[in-house]
Amino acid sequence: MVKFGPLGTYEDEFDDEKSKSQVKRELLALKALGKELFALPVKDLEKLNLSERLYESLLKAHGMTHGALKRQISFIGGLMVHEDYDVIKQSIEKIQQQHNGEVKQFHQLEQWRDELLADDKNVMTVLRHQFEDLDIQHIRQLVRNSNKESAQNKPPKSSRILFKYLQQCQINQPENES
Q: Are residues 70 and 98 in the same domain?
A: no
Distance CA 69, CA 58 (A): 10
Among the three residues 43, 58, 83, which one is the final residue of a domain in this structure?
83
- The widest CA-to-CA distance across the chain, in whole angstroms, is 95
* CA–CA gap between residue 142 and residue 116 (Å, rounded): 10
Contact 172, 130 (CB under 8 A): no
Q: How many CB atoms lie within 10 A of CB 27?
A: 15
- Asked if 159 contacts 146 with a C-beta cutoff of 8 angstroms, the reply is yes
How many domains is the chain partitioned into structurally? 2
Task: With a cut of 90, say whether residue 3 has pLDDT above it.
Answer: no
Domain stops at, among 83, 110, 139: 83
Q: pLDDT-based confidence at 175, cuts 50/70/90?
A: low
Pairwise CA distance, residues 128 & 142, whole Å = 16
Each residue's pLDDT tens digit, 74-123 = 898 888 888 888 888 888 888 888 888 888 999 999 999 999 888 888 88
Over 90: is that where the pLDDT of 22 sits? no
Rounded Cα gap, residues 135 and 162, in angstroms: 11
pLDDT of residue 14: 58
Task: Answer yes or no: do 78 and 98 share one domain.
Answer: no
Instruction: Indicate if the pLDDT at residue 2 is higher than 80.
Output: no
Say whether both 104 and 158 belong to one domain: yes
Q: Tens digit of pLDDT for each residue in 116-162?
A: 888 888 888 888 888 888 888 999 999 999 999 989 999 989 999 99
Final residue of a structural domain among 83, 110, 145: 83
Q: Are residues 19 and 64 in the same domain?
A: yes
Q: What is the model's pTM? A: 0.55
Say if residue 123 is in the same domain as residue 69. Answer: no
Do residue 134 and residue 69 come from a single domain?
no
Question: Looking at residue 50, which CATH number applies to its domain?
Answer: 1.10.60
Q: Indicate if 69 and 119 belong to the same structural domain.
A: no
- The CATH code of the domain that includes 161 is 1.10.60.30
Do 36 and 72 fall into the same domain?
A: yes
Which residues span the domain enclosing 119? 92-177
Residue 9 has pLDDT above 80, yes or no: no
| Rounded average pLDDT over 40-51 | 84
Q: Between 58 and 7, where is the model more confident?
A: 58
